[in-house]
Amino acid sequence: MSQVVQPPSEKTILGHPQGLFYLFFAELWERFSFYGMRALLTLYMVNVIFEALSTRDYAAAAVYASYGSLVYASTVIGGKISDSILGMRASIFLGGILMALGHFVLAIENNIAFFLALAFIIVGNGFFKPNISTFVGTLYKDGDPRKDSGFTIFYMGINIGGFISPLLCGWLGQTYGWHYGFGLAGIGMLTGLLFFWSGIKKNVFGEGGKPQNMEAYERKVIGVPQHRLVRILAFLAAPLIAFLLYSYKSLGGEGTALEDTNIVNLLFYVIGISVLGYMAYIMFNATMDERKKLFMALLITFFMTIFWGFHELHGSVITLFAARNVNLSLINASQTNALNSMFIVILSIPISIMWTYLAKKKINPRTPYKFGMGLLLAGLSFYVVSLSGASADENGMVPFSYLLALYFIISVGELFMSPVGLSKITDLSPKRIVAFMMGIWFLSSAFAFQIVGFISKQLAIESTDKNVGGFETLNVYLDGFRLIAIYALVAGAVVIVFAPLMKRLMGNVH
């Protein structure tokens, strides 16, 4: 029996459904935990988990990449299970509890606990993140003009969480002890769940987020109702994922074809090829117009992957660069992770006003141009920081202003791409596969972490001395940043050159 979904409460706050604000705070606190932990992750691995290895940077880069790839890939599975069995509410609770558990286990300073904790966060995020985002959409009826600004408000919540938490968790973690930072992240996650729970208690969601198919929810498999089975399997998946993370070492020795490839890298090759194969099949069966649009949806997802591949270096190489080669006075290295979200909070409203203004004058650039510019900005951000060597002091430390410039420029690029792309995916995909295409969109972040891993491994410093720094590391980083800048600038230029062609593929979609 399929359950009828009742519209949520009619009450509004600032013209938006009341439910939006409960989801806003729930997601704010979830991202607080996610980004608070991420701010500490690489430094924790380099200074504690892999401290004894001379290849500690390399190991940290490999684990960071596997963690990032899996944490986004799991959202595809979490979204699917929510649609077919659990429903959004139960998925969000399950995900939130797993994530909080992960953060608390991380507070135990122990190597086995470390991998298990990351695995809990991966499974938890898979259930939490896609469902809370979809939940926002369900608060509005189709075509409701408030929906876009609802998502802008929600993106704001994400970044307020992402701004405050590196400052607090980073300060606690690096000043008083890692476990205080991770512990605070866990408390943040529980606070998020509390907001979500109080929204349900106050009935602001109506029937929204309940299982779509109660029969599937209760259906027994090997004597256990499916909803319970999913919960049990979610917990049991953690040790398996922990094992994947732990297998960070390359499968082949130096000089072999698998020199830089571990199990998770292989897994993502397989996922990548399967997804492309499946997309080819879908396109083969689509009409000509759908085919063109789907091809464009795939292309913008691909461009987004490249962008995130440079952007997500923030939590790895850029954090190490900040720790080793940037003169920091007010904040510490992990706290620099707050800068991206800070600029997003400051810039998102002015930039969305700019698009509206340009649209009124009929000169709002079409999506391919925005994407090209986003990639150019990513390139520019790395180019600017690659120039910082000229201002280095005698210890090989560069001024903070370069790091600030990097974050400012790439954040503008992010706003040219990420929110625009999200809404274009829904416009370009035929209704019957829009949820699947959303999954593909989230996979762009998963594949981006494979790029992050590749780059971070190239820029890994090998040394028996844990306290590396000075010109030795500065030169490695700056050469790397210059190369990244060239790649990103070329990618941006190519997208802009081909933009007129892409515009034609997009048809009536702006």
Q: Which residues bind ligand GLN (CB under 6 A)?
A: 31, 158, 308, 445
CB 216 to ligand GLN: min, Å: 29
CB 219 to ligand GLN: min, Å: 33
- Say if CB 460 and CB 58 are below 8 A apart: yes
Strand-strand pairing, 16-17 and 12-13:
antiparallel
Distance CA 231, CA 59 (A): 32
CB 298 to ligand GLN: min, Å: 17
Q: Report CA dihedral (350, 354, 355, 358) to the nearest 10 degrees.
A: 170
CB 281 to ligand GLN: min, Å: 26
Please measure the distance between the N-terminal and C-terminal CA atoms of the chain and give it in whole angstroms. 40
Q: What are 120's two structure tokens?
A: 């809990």
Phi-psi region of 327 (alpha: psi -120 to 50; beta: other; left: phi over 0): beta
Judged by CB, which is closer to ligand GLN: 308, or 407? 308
Q: What are 351's two structure tokens?
A: 């930039």
CB 368 to ligand GLN: min, Å: 20
Residue nearest to ligand GLN (CB): 445
CB 440 to ligand GLN: min, Å: 13
The full length of the chain comes to 510
CB atoms within 10 A of CB 221: 10
Closest CA to 316 of 102, 31, 67, 111: 67
**CA distances from residue 352 to 201, 210, 330, 369 in whole angstroms, order as listed:** 34, 33, 31, 16
φ, ψ for residue 15, nearest 5 deg: 80, 0
Judged by CB, which is closer to ligand GLN: 167, or 468? 167
Judged by CB, which is closer to ligand GLN: 125, or 226? 125
CB atoms within 10 A of CB 102: 26
Q: What are 348's two structure tokens?
A: 């998102």
- Say if CB 264 and CB 453 are below 8 A apart: no
Judged by CB, which is closer to ligand GLN: 189, or 468? 189
Judged by CB, which is closer to ligand GLN: 85, or 88? 88
Judged by CB, which is closer to ligand GLN: 38, or 227? 38
Distance CA 460, CA 85 (A): 43
CB 43 to ligand GLN: min, Å: 20
Judged by CB, which is closer to ligand GLN: 76, or 397? 76
CB 208 to ligand GLN: min, Å: 21
CB 71 to ligand GLN: min, Å: 10
Judged by CB, which is closer to ligand GLN: 157, or 389? 157
Judged by CB, which is closer to ligand GLN: 34, or 58? 34
CB 16 to ligand GLN: min, Å: 19
Q: How many angstroms from the chain centroid is the CA of residue 468?
A: 29
Distance CA 438, CA 426 (A): 8
- Say if CB 245 and CB 115 are below 8 A apart: yes
**CA distances from residue 334 to 71, 168, 174, 250, 343 in whole angstroms, order as listed:** 20, 10, 8, 28, 17
Judged by CB, which is closer to ligand GLN: 23, or 499? 23
